[in-house]
Structure 1
């Protein structure tokens, strides 16, 4: 599969996930919409991002997880605090 086709397939998959997450929220009554949840096993959060959530996505020293849910969008970010901890432990 060439690069352009791969990019289109990935873009279509991401678009389908976003559409599914939005549809899931819109099926709820307005007062029950949280704009956060999971679709196809991936976390999503479409609330307005805050500085605290943005920082915690990439730096959460209180968590042992390597991957943290995105502060906005679908999927995961890398917890660099965990990565740094593991690098310090390496001989």
Structure 2
């Protein structure tokens, strides 16, 4: 599979996951919509991100997780507070 085709497949798959998450929320009555949850095992959050949520996505020293849910969108971000000590030990 060539590089452009792989890129297109990934983009279509990512778009399908986002569309499925939005459809899941829109199928609910307006008052029941939380705009946060899981779809195909991935977390999603379509609420307005706050600076605190954005910072916690990438720096959460209170969490042992390497990956944290995105502050906005579908999927995970890298918890640099957890990764940095591991990388320092590897040097």
Q: Same fold (TM over 0.5)?
A: yes
Q: Which runs of 5+ in 1 are unaligned?
A: none
TM-score (norm 2): 0.94
Partner Cα distance (2:5, 2:88) in 1: 40
Per-residue deviation at 1:66? 0.2
- Residue in 1 that maps onto 2:56: 56
Superimposed CA distance per residue, residues 3-60 of structure 1 (whole angstroms, 9 cap, x where no aligned partner): 1100110010001001100000001110010100000000000111110000000000
**Displacement, 1:90?**
4.6
Aligned residue in 1 for 2:29: 29
Say what the alpha-carbon RMSD is for the aligned residues.
1.2
Q: TM-score, normalised by structure 1?
A: 0.94
Hey, what's the Cα distance between the residues in 1 that align with 2:2 and 2:88? 40
Partners of 2:18 and 2:66 lie apart in 1 by: 23
Q: Which runs of 5+ in 2 are unaligned?
A: none
Q: Are 2:40 and 1:40 equivalent residues in the alignment?
A: yes
Q: Matched residue pairs, number?
A: 91
Q: Which ranges of 4 or more aligned residues in structure 1 deviate by more than 2 Å?
A: 85-91
